[in-house]
Amino acid sequence: MGKIRVGFGYDVHQLKEGYDFWLGGIQVPHEKGAVGHSDADVLIHVICDALLGAANMRDIGFHFSDTDPQYKGIDSKILLKDVMLLIREQGYEVGNIDTTICLQLPKVNPHIPEMKKCLAEVMGIDENDISIKATTTEKLGFVGRQEGVSAYCAVLIEKK
């Protein structure tokens, strides 16, 4: 067995009207979207951070600065693909990914199968190695007031 490492990611994005809402690599219909330098896909961002952290390669902002114009409006799936290349260059493969999205509205559960399919294709891993869960905050805090979305991610990677 190779060296096993774990990583953790956390991210938050503000929600505002007039923006598309990208989550887990797919566009989710909603009257508000996430605001960010890229497409603001909070789920992909936490996966990137967790993977980079597990490989001891800093974080998403280190590799893809939010002040760099080349990343303005970029599809986060491109960032995730690049992160997978970075960790694979270090000899790592994904064991599994466990995520939680915190969002009051819209309901995420109907979109989870499509998100898993999309992420698995981008990462070149099995859908069964990706867990996506969703919760509300029972109308408490910025998530409950529908001002933002947050997500958490834990990953396990193994050096082959």
Q: Return binding residues.
A: 11-13, 37-38, 45, 59-61, 64-68, 135-138, 142, 145
Question: What gap in Å lies between CA 54 and CA 125, rounded to an integer?
Answer: 17
**Residue 95: burial class (beta carbons within 10 Å; 0-12, 13-18, 19+):** middle
**Which residue from 46, 31, 30 is spatially nearest to 133, judged by alpha carbons?**
46
User: Percentage helix, strand, coil, to 5, in the chain?
Assistant: 35, 30, 35
Residue 22 near residue 33 (C-beta atoms within 8 A)? yes
HSE of 113, CA atoms in CB hemisphere, 13 A: 1
